[in-house]
């Protein structure tokens, strides 16, 4: 009897692993197929467009490094969404937390003349703190007042974006006409790995962060509590988990990861805080996390895919004469197919249980 249960458990794990790979692959394939119809409707050649997209993202080592550069903030912000969703909270405020991380990191990088690596470390920690505080606000409101975190995180996005705009137009503005801060100190900048593409140490930090998020969720007591709350709050409370505190911690840690995304963007790529510096990394991170099926390791590949879309978009524009909005259509199609695949998988599992 126990042997049968063991074999059934192994089959279930194998089936989950296959589905975990198959659903994202099918989602991407379906999005590209439907996307080809959209491209044809606007009068372009789908094969030519996708070839240009691929070459623009992976055609050379420099192009691939540029894809990794674009994938770095997506990976960190995507991990923020993964952590929050696994804990049963919906963090839609990654964009605002990203902005606050960039704001805090810029302040540290322009006002703390620390020697050597201490300047970089201080700026990184400041960015983490900025994101953590901005994520802790909706976490506190949810834990103590029962406020819906979807609403509070969305509203905090706008506050953070306009707060950064105020600082780059006012207290942190460098002399001149441009709405931007002073450049961060040389010592506070991330080391460049490839000068041709601008790829920096941020990609290493992002991959190490994915490993740490995996360790947190799978191998720590806090991670077990987060997953319990995400699966069933009532059962978690019955087991002795402080559900409000755990949810507040989850949103705070999620905000810290999103803040790190903004920090890496400033310290490794732009070197100063700009008005509207993010092209929507915090919002795209939701798509990154969904395609990865909330798996920290899968988030790495998902972020590279979306980074490739951003990098290859220029090639599509030039070679196939397509507007950049086609890339956003592809992103939306990927999300739709991912949700459809996960929904179908859930219905099949529910039927299997009912039998």
For the stretch 67-100, pLDDT in tens is 999 999 999 999 999 999 999 999 999 999 999 9
For the stretch 221-267, pLDDT in tens is 999 999 999 988 889 988 888 988 999 999 999 999 999 999 999 99
The structure's pTM equals 0.89
Residue 48 in this model has a pLDDT that exceeds 90? no
Of 324 and 149, which is predicted with more confidence?
149
| pLDDT in the model for residue 348 | 45
Residue 341 in this model has a pLDDT that exceeds 70? no
Residue 19 in this model has a pLDDT that exceeds 90? no
- Which residues are 192's β-sheet partners? 200
Rounded distance, CA 348 to CA 264, Å?
41
| pLDDT in the model for residue 16 | 55
Rounded distance, CA 279 to CA 50, Å?
22
C-alpha 160, offset from chain centre: 17
> How confident is the model over 123-134, as a mean pLDDT?
96
Q: Are 66 and 312 in contact (CB under 8 A)?
A: no
In this structure, what token pair is assigned to residue 6? 């063991």
pLDDT bin (cut points 50, 70, 90) of residue 1 is: very low
pLDDT bin (cut points 50, 70, 90) of residue 353 is: very low
For the stretch 271-290, pLDDT in tens is 999 998 998 899 989 989 98
For the stretch 3-15, pLDDT in tens is 554 555 455 545 5
Residue 215 in this model has a pLDDT that exceeds 90? yes
Of 153 and 4, which is predicted with more confidence?
153
> How confident is the model over 334-353, as a mean pLDDT?
60
| pLDDT in the model for residue 319 | 73
Q: Are 161 and 100 in contact (CB under 8 A)?
A: no
Residue 354 in this model has a pLDDT that exceeds 50? no
Rounded distance, CA 268 to CA 248, Å?
30
Residue with tokens 């470390």: 121
Q: What is the CATH number of domain 43-322?
A: 1.10.3470
In this structure, what token pair is assigned to residue 328? 């956003």
- Find, among 323, 247, 326, the residue nearest to 88 by Cα: 247
DSSP state of 173: B
The number of residues in the chain equals 355
Alpha helices by DSSP H, the chain: 2-41, 46-58, 61-86, 94-111, 117-145, 149-169, 202-219, 221-231, 233-238, 243-265, 281-291, 296-319, 325-354
3-state secondary structure of 325: helix
H or E element that contains 230: helix 221-231
Percent of the chain with pLDDT over 90: 55
| pLDDT in the model for residue 10 | 52
In this structure, what token pair is assigned to residue 171? 């207290």
Domain borders along the chain are 43-322
Residue 216 in this model has a pLDDT that exceeds 80? yes
For the stretch 173-202, pLDDT in tens is 988 888 899 999 999 999 999 999 999 999
Helix (DSSP H) and strand (DSSP E) numbers for the chain: 13, 2
What Å distances lie between residue 58 and 91, 237, 292, 307, CA to CA?
32, 48, 21, 11
Percent of the chain with pLDDT over 70: 90
């Amino acid at each position: 009897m126990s042997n049968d249960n063991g074999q059934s458990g192994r089959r279930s794990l194998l089936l989950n692993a296959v589905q975990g790979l198959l659903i994202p692959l099918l989602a991407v394939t379906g999005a590209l197929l439907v996307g080809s119809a959209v491209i044809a409707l606007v009068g372009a050649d789908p094969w030519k467009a996708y070839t240009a997209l691929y070459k623009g993202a992976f055609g050379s080592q420099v192009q691939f490094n540029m894809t990794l550069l674009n994938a770095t903030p997506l990976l960190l912000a995507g991990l923020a969404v993964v952590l929050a969703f696994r804990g049963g909270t919906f963090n839609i405020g990654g964009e605002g937390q990203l902005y606050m991380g960039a704001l805090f990191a810029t302040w540290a990088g322009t006002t703390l003349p620390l020697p050597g690596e201490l300047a970089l470390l201080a700026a990184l920690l400041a960015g983490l703190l900025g994101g953590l505080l901005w994520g802790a606000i909706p976490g506190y409101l949810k834990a103590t007042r029962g406020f819906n975190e979807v609403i509070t995180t969305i509203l905090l996005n706008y506050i953070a974006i306009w707060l950064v705009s105020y600082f780059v137009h006012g207290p942190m503005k460098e002399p001149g006409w441009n709405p931007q801060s002073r450049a961060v100190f040389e010592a506070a900048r991330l080391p460049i790995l490839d000068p041709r593409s601008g790829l920096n140490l941020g990609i290493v930090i992002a991959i190490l962060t994915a490993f740490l998020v995996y360790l947190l969720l799978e191998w720590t007591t806090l991670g077990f509590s987060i997953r319990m709350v995400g699966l069933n709050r009532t059962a978690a409370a019955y087991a002795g988990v402080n559900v409000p505190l755990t949810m507040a911690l989850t949103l705070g840690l999620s905000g810290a990861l999103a803040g790190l995304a903004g920090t890496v963007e400033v310290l490794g790529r732009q070197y100063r805080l700009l008005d509207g510096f993010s092209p929507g990394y915090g919002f795209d991170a939701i798509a990154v996390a969904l395609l990865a099926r909330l798996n920290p390791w899968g988030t790495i590949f998902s972020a590279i895919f979306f980074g490739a879309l951003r990098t290859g978009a220029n090639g599509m524009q030039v070679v196939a004469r397509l507007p950049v909005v086609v890339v956003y259509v592809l992103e939306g199609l990927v999300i739709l197919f991912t949700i459809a695949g996960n929904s179908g998988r859930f219905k099949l599992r529910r039927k299997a249980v009912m039998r």
